[in-house]
Structure 1
């Protein structure tokens, strides 16, 4: 981590020492306010640390059993310094664990928006859902549920997080996936074309292929833009194989159909009860 604050303050009154022998010179008052665990831990008299190159003042030292990376994330959330950079779900999951371990108050709330941010939702929604279920984050689980149901549990490779998805949570997600597929299939196959002069044969070929791409493929209902992109890709493939959809009014009616369909799919059930 490249933040300017390095936990080497001259006015620190205690040292936290990790298994890697990394030393964090910190302040009892700040730790005690943020964490009841630190408060109880620091109430016990500590022996002076042995002088080292990093510390020559003989401050009391406390050995902790958290990695230096995890402890630094915790301290950066406790201290009034720059928010810790969390670029992957491993770091984020560990952050929730250590915040819970030290009984910090309110700090998990700061990380919830990050958990359901687009980079994580689109790349690993099943794990986002699992983490939300683990900590009882109902709103975040509901946000992740449609993304996770689109991908499917067969792609879930993190066994450690998977154990926190209860049978009930998984059943709810399976029901959501089934409901969304049924509604989506009906929307795609039955939504009327906007122009009665457009070749019906085009839509007869276009609709089944679109069902396959959106309901079986990994792009299913990711977001409005992704849905639109897939629709136009399938339209182009259909035109190349079976002929164009253009009528005397040009291509605009196909575009209107695709936009209307994408909006309908975007408004399908989102799983507000997927982790109740």
Structure 2
């Protein structure tokens, strides 16, 4: 296989797709011509299949290649990537979730199943799930990729849905999609609260213990209310907010000793780990 990237200038192309280089500039007349093949486009896309089924008026381009020209409104950079996902060539590397978002809209607009399948593989990459789980969820819902949406939901638990979502991302979701995610977070909060409540605190019954753990559990519940995601680091941050001035003489057996606290947090995490 050649290492040279495919260029859309094949001499046996039978149609030109002309895309604007600067779509945001209404005065720009710069375009990029992508020489393509009707058979590939119509086989992959129901949209192009329908278009090519209707006789097209002859529109020779400015270079007089005698090929029909179809104007598209999408930016040339994005549309060329879209074509690279359609053509039987090495697929491009996509490292921007915004580009994935644009391509998903093109896959829906032009009704291209193969692009949908390729984007599905891209969306489940660890980098996107870790860094852009809300975007992954929104795109998956738009493309009816239910399994990908379910996979993305747990990765959103460390995000505050009421404050940490940018407006462009909110606009990418329908009200139903956003409300479904809110319900998932509410369910997760309930599960975490149950896990915290049913974790046993073992230790002596000294006077400092009840107050200390009541305060600690309250802080953990507040943390769960903010983001339904708990790990040892967040648990420790709750612990650091409790001012403990114990005069207990029980030593290592005290309910608020470092050893018992560590065991308690481990048990909390074990309960959380049981959640599906």
Shorter-normalised TM-score: what interval? 0.7 to 0.9
What displacement does 1:180 show? 2.4
Match of 2:143 in 1: 135
Q: Does 1:200 align with 2:209?
A: yes
1:233 to 209, 217, 237: 237
In structure 2, how many angstroms separate the alpha carbons of the residues matched to 1:266 and 1:118? 20
Q: Does 1:99 align with 2:107?
A: yes
Question: CA RMSD, aligned part only?
Answer: 3.5
What displacement does 1:242 show? 1.5
Q: Deviations over 1:136-194 (max 9, x none)?
A: 332233333444465224543124313x232xx55544443333223322322441135
What displacement does 1:82 show? 2.9
Q: Say if 1:89 and 1:120, in contact at 8 Å, map to a contact too.
A: yes
Q: Say if 1:15 and 1:61, in contact at 8 Å, map to a contact too.
A: yes
Match of 2:186 in 1: 178
1:111 to 112, 119, 128: 119
Cα gap change, 1:133/1:105 in structure 2, threshold over 3 Å: closer, same or farther? closer
What displacement does 1:42 show? 3.6
Helix, strand or coil at the partner of 1:4 = coil
Q: TM-score, normalised by structure 2?
A: 0.73
What displacement does 1:75 show? 0.7
Match of 2:14 in 1: 13
Cα gap change, 1:254/1:9 in structure 2, threshold over 3 Å: closer, same or farther? farther
In structure 2, list runs of 5 or more residues that go unmatched.
22-30
Higher Cα radius of gyration = 2
Q: TM-score, normalised by structure 1?
A: 0.73
In structure 1, how many angstroms separate the alpha carbons of the residues matched to 2:184 and 2:275? 10
Match of 2:28 in 1: none
What displacement does 1:108 show? 1.0
In structure 1, list runs of 5 or more residues that go unmatched.
270-276
The equivalences for 1:136-155 within 5 A come to 136-148=144-156, 151-155=160-164
Helix, strand or coil at the partner of 1:229 = helix
Q: Say if 1:126 and 1:151, in contact at 8 Å, map to a contact too.
A: no
Q: Does 1:242 align with 2:244?
A: yes
